[in-house]
Structure 1
């Protein structure tokens, strides 16, 4: 449990130029140091960073569909008062307030790729929540232009709202598909967290971020959902109050940048294969006149604009990397990867169908493609990372006997006739 502490000073730190070049060109080294925030069976205890969910106790279809949503979204019938327009990014977006006084952020799809960014956010928010991460609440709404009403004295005018909508994808019936997000219980927005070090002004932040298993394992999760743009600017620390306790909670945000979506456009063909700047690849291409090191360029993207660039062709879970390097991902050990892979491999086909259905794609073919691709990438991750420790997990003592599950055998990756010798000890905690 996180202890109550004064909230840290708000900041908007991102990755600096020095760290970028160090991570891009420096030698990562061999990191065999185990994660520091795990228990005796390699699990991550619940905290303001992570909560064990679907793998520990299977979530019902209704819970998977609901995902992180704890409260009702904005009213579907009352006006949405627009208090701010725009923000970072290329997609049309606004901040609105409903009749309950709650504030929401609204994001709309680009005309050339309707359903791409909003669908990616709906699916990834449910997957990440089920995996245990903190993500904002996400709703899909169909709205008409008349519902977006400028807030008096906000500086927002009707013409500015109309201009925003003119840059968004409009449905055949004249409505707009809106992704609505909100983080509940926020007292203060502090700013992004880093993938290394700790916050000196947060008394609960005692483990270096690069040594947290949930952040190291996030590399494998990011590979699954192709969150190749992940970096500090797509995270957020917020001050919350729960049962009288104040502490910092850590969120993954901007989930419209997952799967095949880069926001207004599909992901670049190199995304997930290289960092934005890799000296070795540059030298290699110069030496071969550009003919080497670009196998990813031969992979054809799906032909539906709602999918962007997301598939199984060319996907290598062990070689996958984000566009921006970070220390936690570079320190991922086989044990960290196994921890993430077992949780990913635990999702069934039906689980994924339920989650993909929340994207409410207008095409059944798009939904089927998304389920098939997530399944194929799930299986590739299982093949790549479930060998660690013999693939054994779910250890328990029942009636004086040690029990466990062979995950590789359960998923058909290895025979279930292996003999094992296990040594274990009982401790007197007194």
Structure 2
């Protein structure tokens, strides 16, 4: 019954009972076990053109009632499940936990040979898959010759930030090895320049390693990305649902964890955040098989484009009709905002900056409906998590990139701090930035996140109370009750918070009160 109730909450506005005895849910209801799902492929070119020039997914209406985020509990928070886990903002992680990220116990074994079992020898930054002496599988990726340390640092740092932000990511290890650590496995195939496959030879391995940087000690630096748990079944899309997954009932373009992902990608300049860089797997826990959704491949973030430094236009679409028209009619004399950015000479960072960065303007390489559907409450949900990273937290995670140039590491951390603060200032201004609602000594309390992070105080907050009919959703004002003190009324209550300085913004906090006391069960925001 609870699963049916959740489905109704996701699929359409609730027309009957507003809250249930177990609200707010912290975890998604137990998943239905899935069968043997088939792997599906997604064409990178199809994804590009369908999103850039098509109209995929359900978009926000122009005017009228916006489509609120789905996949959230009555507090507006995503629940622990196949997409997401509450981490740093909700359960503050120690520095050691932030550095550890998704795992630090399973690097490739250094006690034996690494066997190459698959390879990509073409391109600027080739890579291969290995099995170590402990029979563990890893994808090995390198830096481009022009930017040693850049892509591998981005992969290490990015995985730890996205993990702390709540997403499933692979265990990424920075490794150094010599050529004699490798051996070629049987039946490994490579493609030649014409795309024809042939058996890989030891000469191919040698040529592959000539294309990547090597240090003075003859060692190669790489990312070894451990294979994620479960059976791979292809990437999830940023719209629609997976029809063969009975648990995938909310269109992806309306999931808060994907709408808010845009803010996280903007912070880290992960402009290659396309569907093809994610992966679904079928995992089994307690005898139940379900789909888990992973983010992958962070080598194209933090100023890196994996095989070179990122383009100065990172944070802008490949193409827009409006941008093209502006360049045409001004004969190219009206430069876009990103053209004013300046970058220090740090090859291990690439092109990453914070002075010109504008979180409201930043977009990935091409549109996706989850990002374009985001609303101010989606942005607030993401911004409060970005702001939860202290300066020391950021420095600790940047340290996992093991940049040899300490000035480059300090610059990267500085940019992340400044981009973080721009995100907080932009999105805390769009809604009343109140969170962590609680009852203290009979009074409603909350955190003013704008004040907490030094962006100013939302002054003269007014609180008006109403009874809530939980069966109909009708609120009846208690006209004689104003202020933070909780009225001595059993049942459900609604407290509406407002401030004269922000007349369009309100927060309604719902309480359940009985003989055991009062508790917060729901939050609604308007803007």
One fold, TM greater than 0.5? yes
The 3-state SS of whatever aligns with 1:163 is: helix
Q: 1:401, CA displacement in angstroms?
A: 3.0
Which structure has more helix as a fraction of its residues?
Answer: 1
Residue number in structure 1 paired with 2:21:
none
Q: Distance in 2 between matches of 1:161 and 1:47?
A: 41
Distance 2:119 2:137 in 1: 13
Change (3 A) 1:87 1:167: closer
Kept in 2, the 8 Å contact 1:185–1:241? The answer is no
Q: Does 1:304 align with 2:346?
A: yes
Query: What is aligned with 1:44?
Result: 78
Q: Indicate the residue corresponding to 1:5 in structure 2.
A: 34
- Choose between structure 1 and 2 for higher RCO, CA contacts under 8 A separated by at least 6 residues: 1
Contact 2:174 2:223 (8 Å CA) reproduced: yes
Q: Which moved more, 1:207-216 or 1:236-245?
A: 236-245
Distance 2:417 2:368 in 1: 27
The answer to whether 1:165 aligns with 2:199 is no
Deviation by residue 1:350-402 (Cα, 9 ceiling, x = unmatched): 10111011000111111111110100000000000012431100112345432
Q: Is 1:127 the counterpart of 2:161 in the alignment?
A: yes
Report the TM-score when normalising by structure 2. Answer: 0.77
**1:219 aligned residue (259, 262, 281):** 262
Count matched residues.
Answer: 426
Q: Is the 8 A contact 1:69 1:137 kept in 2?
A: yes
Identify if the C-alpha distance between structure 1 residues 357 and 16 changes in structure 2 by more than 3 Å, giving closer, same or farther.
closer
Determine the C-alpha separation between the residues in 2 that align with 1:192 and 1:353: 32
Q: 1:270 aligned to 2:302?
A: no
In the alignment, the residues of structure 2 paired with residue 100 and residue 9 of structure 1 have an alpha-carbon distance, to the nearest angstrom, of 29
- Is residue 2:101 matched to residue 1:72? no
Contact 1:89 1:263 in 2 (8 A): no
Question: Which residue matches 1:204?
Answer: 247
Shift of 1:23: 5.2
Aligned-pair CA distance for 1:233? 0.9
TM-score normalized by the length of structure 1? 0.94
1:7-64 per-residue CA deviation (whole Å, 9 max, x = no partner) reads 432111241634430259x997547211011112211111110000000111011110
Provide structure 1 residue ranges, at least 5 long, that are not aligned to the other structure: none
Is the 8 Å Cα contact of residues 271 and 365 (structure 2) preserved in structure 1?
yes
Could you tell me how far 1:276 is from its partner in structure 2?
1.1
Q: Where does 1:175-186 land on structure 2 (aligned, <5 Å)?
A: 175-186=219-230
Which residue of structure 1 aligns with residue 134 of structure 2?
100
Q: CA deviation at 1:284?
A: 1.1
Deviations 1:82-112 (A, max 9, x none): 1111179742210000112121100011111
Q: Which of the numbers 297, 304, 309 marks the counterpart of 1:254?
A: 297
SS at 2:232 equivalent: strand
What do residues 110-151 of structure 1 show as CA deviations (whole Å, max 9, x unaligned)? 111000100011111000000001111100011111101111
CA contact (8 A) 1:82 1:156 kept: no
1:288-303 maps to which residues of 2 (within 5 A)? 288-303=330-345
User: Which structure has more strand as a fraction of its residues?
Assistant: 2
SS of the residue 2:233 aligns to: strand
The alignment's C-alpha RMSD in Å is 2.1
8 A contact 1:356–1:370 mirrored in 2: yes
User: 1:217-253: per-residue Cα shift (whole Å, max 9, x none)?
Assistant: 0011010000112111111111112232211111111
